[in-house]
Amino acid sequence: MVAVRCSSKYLLIIGIIINVLFIGLTQVLYISRYFKKSSFSSTSFSSSSSNKSKQIEKSRYMFIDKRDVTDLGPIFKIDIKNVSGTPMRPSIKHKHINEIIESSLMKPARTKEQMRKINELKEKIAKEIKFNPNSQGRNKNGDPIEIPISPEKFCRPSSTALTLARRLLVIMVTSHVKDVTVREEIRQTWADVPEVNSGQVRVVHLLGMITENGETTQSLIEHEAEDYDDIVQGAFKDTYKNLTTKTLMGLQWASTQCGSSFKYFMKTDSDVYVNLPKLAEHLAGLKNWEKPRAFGRKWVDVKPIRSPLHKWFVPEREYPGSTYPPYLGGSAYVITSLAARMAYHEARSTRLVRLEDLFVGICFKKAGVQLSDEPRFSVSLKKIVSKPCDIHSLFTHHGVKYYDLQHLKVTQDHPDLCVNVTSADLTP
């Protein structure tokens, strides 16, 4: 009986010990799993915070946008923004560009994509700095435009007889660098007339520069200038926005190089057909070539277009007035040599406007140049090839494709083709 009680007592103690050990082991396992989970969460949070911090630091110096305003000349604007779009740097002048790039973009933690964009930006800016246009962003144009290529013998008379008197006319054609075919067609059509061959009239093409295939294209232009001696090239980017700068370059070149050699200067576009014999005959009969005069299609009471989407948009900061001053249509107009010199003198103290005919009109008004309307400078949008005989009654016709120049040339050289055409068939 005593033995049974002792064995029961030992069994109870053993059971209690087993329960205590089981509970202790369970607690140990629970605590171990808790600390392991906490350690994993802490590591994950630390890694996530580190990556997020790196992304923020990385995006802080990320190059988001670079506004291309090289068409406006030597003033550049580089916008460096963070992810939120907040600008990080103000507008700068080109002489500080390298310093700003080094201080703003060349930051730690740069990716390969960032480095590629930085290098592209620096290369593009380096190419653009060599241009020296009279920028639209400047208030005045006091510095002359750099002209690396101009005709060497252009203003020299072709014979001794021409040295005793002024020759008649220089025609300045605004052309794009790449329009080699158009210039060749002009040389072989309306510019291939006795008046040009005799030296009384000369034709020159006004160009800018381009950065695409720069060395190859520039080499071709230099060869073209050597072959024809009729290229005037300015150190500015050849774009539509720089048409005012190109026209200003023409005034500068005409006034400083040929102003004392010719009576008249004409500005025209490369898509204009010029009836040169008829125009030369008319100019030769005028007697007031020594006065400041200009004639073409005269526009009056024209109101500015303020819609930014319009081709002829002019913001108020460029021209705040409600009405433009009288001006001549930019497709073709003729000015006396004195008017050219007076207009260029005023242009150097006049803010550039994106519409070149308006800019020249402003200069004419300031200089006191008398403007006359001449309807034979046609600005009709009608395709003249459908009625080519119209060219016999006109000085110029605007909007002619280069492949139609030959057709008009044949019609001009053979007036007998139009003998059966009555005056009613001609477009006024």
Tens of pLDDT, residues 379-405 = 766 666 678 888 899 999 998 999 999
Kindly report the three-state secondary structure assignment for every residue of 139-199. CCCCCCCCCCECCCCCCCCCCHHHHHCCEEEEEEEECCCCCHHHHHHHHHCCCCCHHHHCC
CA 260 – CA 158 distance, rounded (Å): 15
The predicted pLDDT at position 192 comes to 95
Instruction: Identify the pLDDT of residue 428.
Output: 44
Nearest to 367, CA basis, from 388, 387, 385, 349? 349
Q: What are phi and psi of 154, to 5 degrees?
A: -60, -45
Pairwise CA distance, residues 369 & 96, whole Å: 41
pLDDT 10s digits, 6-22: 566 667 777 778 777 77
pLDDT of residue 270: 95
Q: How confident is the model at residue 160 (pLDDT cuts 50, 70, 90)?
A: low
User: Phi and psi (nearest 5°) for 149?
Assistant: -130, 130
- Condensed to tens digits (0 to 9), the pLDDT of residues 228-247 reads 999 999 999 999 989 999 99
> Sheet containing 377-378: which strands, arranged edge to edge?
272-274, 396-398, 377-378
pLDDT > 90? residue 163:
no
CATH class of residue range 160-425 = alpha beta
Q: How far is CA 248 from the centre of its chain?
A: 15
pLDDT at 43 over 60: no
Side-chain-side CA neighbours of residue 410 (13 Å) = 6
Average pLDDT, whole number, for the chain? 76
Q: What is the maximum alpha-carbon separation in the chain?
A: 159
Mean pLDDT of 307-326: 91
Distance (Å, rounded) from C-alpha 154 to C-alpha 201? Answer: 11
| Percentage helix, strand, coil for the chain under 3-state DSSP, each rounded to 5 | 45, 15, 35
**Closest by CA position to 151, among listed 191, 199, 205, 201:** 205
Radius of gyration of the chain (CA): 38
**Are the C-beta atoms of 246 and 235 separated by less than 8 Å?**
no
The span from the CA of 340 to the CA of 394, in Å, is 24
* pLDDT over threshold 70, residue 102: no
Distance CA 207, CA 174 (A): 7
- Beta carbons of 397 and 380 less than 8 angstroms apart: yes
pLDDT > 80? residue 154? no
The domain limits of the chain are 1-60, 70-129, 160-425
